[in-house]
Amino acid sequence: MKILVPLKRVPDADTKIRVKPDGSGIETDGVKFSVNPFDAIALEEALRLKEKFGDIETVVASIGEEACAEQLRTGLAMGADRAVLIRSDADLDPRAVAQVLAALFRREQPGLVLMGKQAIDDDSNQCGQMLAALLGLGQATFVSKLELLDHASRARCGRETDAGLETVTVTLPAVLTTDLRLNEPRYVSVPGILKAKKKPLEVLPLTDFCAGAVSRTKLLRLEAPPHRQAGARVRSVDELLDKLRHEAKVI
Amino acid sequence: MPQILVIAEHDQGQLKAATLAATGFARKVGSAAGGQFEVLVLGHGVAGVAESLRHCGAVSVLTADDPALRHPLADKFAAVIAGVVRGRGATMVVAAASTFSKDILPRAAGLLDTGMLSDVIDVWPDGGDFTFKRVLFAGNALATVKLDGPLKFLTVRAAAFATPPPTESAAPVVAVPVDGATLPNQIEFVAREGRAAGRPDATEAPIVVSGGRAIRNADDFERLVGGLADALGAAVGSSRALVDAGITPNSLQIGQTGKVVAPNLYFALGISGAIQHLAGMKDTRVIVAVNKDPEAPVFEVADYGLVGDVYEVVPELIAKLKPG
């Protein structure tokens, strides 16, 4: 079986996000970029399935600028077998990304797509579900437990919903999106980095690959959220209860 | 004129209050640009939920009621929604942001080849179309965006749109035909672990009591965070640190990757206030922080900060809140 894992290049989770004064985007000077943490969890799961079952090829893919190759190299260093970079300098919305991934799916014919439930930059949480719809495949979102059943023809997935854990089975191929608790991604090792240099990283121009993928979302401006003012310090429980009862009137 | 379809969310026969905020969004769009909205309830045995929506301001309450829709499975729900959107000529489809809507709406948007915006907090008309504001980067940025195309899908933050007052007139309930046998069948429901009985859901409750790293184990969490919540009739929540430590279940996590809440009152007990956690609660009306560390970032957003050990402060709070 082949597992396709899309990896998005995003500002590192520990970065302090600052909006540019002209509102055109966020400051990227000096910002460290990483693999979207949920995508790293997806790749970790693919690698664990490969270690368990053996005959699995893991393919990582990214869509975007030349620099996305860094995140693909990280994926290869973690243990992915090969990488595909679909080059584009356009801002693509989730629908456009899903269209590109659908084209990649048709080319690669994987048995499973594993991807993060959301990217921590755009926070949309749409791509996997749209991809599944475009391909007419089943989906399981927010997966925190995964087990392949019946010779990898089905997957049993634990899903983190607002009400608690839900378990479903999904016919494969399917698109599964990963939640935080599925696993803890491995660190990249030095031998892993050395091996990654010899692994194939194919670069395809988006315009050749999926020319119709155009964003329908237009960013007019970005702004910092209104700053919440720090309030008062209280010295005791009595003072706190008094303020909550008589000043804020919330209890 | 926009024709809006609001997707209702319910849990075991109870309408989720956030759905009413989504109708608040729909009324706002309707009053700004003309147009009207309908509500769609999907499920099995949803007559009660439909009844509770008749005064929400919709021109009709649509029900897709079929045994095949007993569980909210994305393949079936998205297919039904796509069919209703086509059948009713909807131009805007909206639901309150939740794991339910985030699972299903993007799939329905994909089936209809249309774009979608998540976590919308504002909308205004703009030359025959609309402009939206949405939250991204864990709440560290707000984007003003347009979404091209004749049909738009949206999830909205419930906290950003007021629940409108009920209307005098009652909208008719209209059943839309569903043929369960023709719906896709790729996802099968196995089981659902119920939420602990007795306490409300954090996304619905007016008061949320949340615990963080300072809480050392599950018993202490129950005694301190649970105890204070029960004294206030509140919901409980948790920071990521406690979920990672196995002290609290994932479904309690508040933050960028967990639930986003905006209650009247939020207690952050022993929570340092990482930006990912603040993303999930900073639209709260009144924030109370209790933390041993006077430099904890949570104090920068708290309305009332008390520097102290949660193991001392919280039992005192519980004792003083108890009647008598």
CA distance B178 to A93: 32
Q: Residue B141 is nearest to which of A13, A93, A224, comparing CB atoms?
A: A224
For chain B, 324 residues long, give each residue's pLDDT as a single digit of tens. Answer: 789 999 999 997 899 999 999 999 999 998 888 889 999 999 999 999 999 999 999 999 999 999 999 999 999 999 999 999 999 999 999 999 999 999 999 999 999 999 999 999 999 999 889 999 999 999 999 999 999 999 999 999 998 999 999 999 999 999 999 999 999 999 999 999 866 667 888 988 999 999 999 999 999 999 999 999 999 999 999 999 999 999 999 999 999 889 999 999 999 999 999 999 999 999 999 999 999 999 999 999 999 999 999 999 999 999 999 875
Q: What is the predicted pLDDT for the residue at A77?
A: 98
A113's torsion region: left (phi>0), alpha (psi -120 to 50) or beta? Answer: beta
A2-224 folds as Rossmann fold (3.40.50)
Return the biggest CA–CA distance within chain B.
Answer: 61
Each residue's pLDDT expressed in tens, for chain A with a length of 251 residues: 999 999 999 999 999 999 999 999 999 999 999 999 999 999 999 999 999 999 999 999 999 999 999 999 999 999 999 999 999 999 999 999 999 999 999 999 999 999 999 999 999 999 999 999 999 999 999 999 999 999 999 999 999 999 889 999 999 999 999 999 999 999 999 999 999 999 999 999 999 889 889 999 999 999 999 988 889 999 999 999 999 999 999 99
User: Does B135 lie in the same domain as B48?
Assistant: yes
Q: Give Cβ neighbours of residue B228 (< 8 Å, ≥ 6 apart).
A: B209, B234, B267, B269, B314, B317, B318, B321
Compute CA B104 distance to the chain's CA centroid, rounded to the nearest angstrom.
14
Q: Which two tokens stand for residue B182?
A: 């023709």
| B103 and B17, same domain (yes or no) | yes
DSSP B168-224: SS-PPEEEPP--GGGS---EEEEEEPPPPTTS--TTT-SEEEEE-TT--SHHHIIII
Going by their DSSP bridges, the two strands A9-11 and B207-211 should be labelled as unpaired
Whether residue B176 sits in one domain with residue B33: yes
Do residues B175 and B211 both lie within one domain? no
Domain spans of chain A, in order of start: 2-224
Kind and range of the H or E run holding B117: strand B116-126
Residues of chain B in contact with residue A133, where contact means CB-CB under 8 angstroms, are: 78, 106-111
Question: What would the two tokens of residue A124 be?
Answer: 């949309």
Q: How far apart are CA B126 and CA B2, in angstroms?
A: 13
On whether residue B221 sits in a domain, the answer given is: yes
Encode A71-91 in three state secondary structure.
HHHHHHHHCCCEEEEEECCCC
pLDDT given for residue A230 in this prediction: 87
Smallest Cα distance from B16 to chain A, Å: 12
Domain hosting residue B253, numbered range: 207-321
The amino acid at residue A158 is G
The whole-angstrom separation of Cα A116 and Cα B138 is: 16
pLDDT at B185: 97
Do B78 and B45 belong to one domain?
A: yes
A31 touching B, CB under 8 A?
no
Same domain? For B142 and B214 the reply is no
**Could you give the number of structural domains in chain B?**
2
Question: Are B11 and A251 within 8 A, CB to CB?
Answer: no
Q: Where are the alpha helices (DSSP H) in chain B?
A: 17-33, 47-51, 74-88, 99-111, 218-220, 227-232, 240-244, 275-278, 310-321
Do B232 and B169 reside in the same domain of the chain?
no
Residue B241 sits in a domain of what CATH number? 3.40.50.1220
Residue B201 domain flag: no
| Alpha-helix residue ranges (DSSP H) falling in B65-127 | 74-88, 99-111
DSSP bridge pairs for A161: A164
| B54 and B171 together in one domain | yes
pLDDT at A9: 98
Find the CATH number of the domain harbouring B166.
Answer: 3.40.50.620
pLDDT of residue B196: 62
| CA gap A156, A164 in Å, rounded | 16
Q: Are residues B123 and B235 in the same domain?
A: no
The residue assigned the tokens 């007019």 is A220
Give contacts of A 136-175 with B, CB under 8 A.
136-142, 144, 156, 159-171, 174
B154 with B292, same domain: the answer is: no
- Cα B170 from chain centroid? 25
- Can you give the pLDDT at residue B1? 79
Q: Give the minimum alpha-carbon distance from B41 to chain A in angstroms, rounded to a whole number.
A: 18
C-alpha distance across the termini of chain A, in Å: 58
Note which residues in 17-76 of chain B have CB less than 8 A from chain A.
Answer: 73-75
My answer on whether B220 and B169 are in the same domain is no
- The answer on B215 and B167 residing in a single domain is no
| CB-CB neighbors (< 8 A) of A228 in chain B | 282, 300-301
Which residues on chain A are in Cβ contact (under 8 Å) with B317? 237, 240-241
The pLDDT value given to residue B228: 98
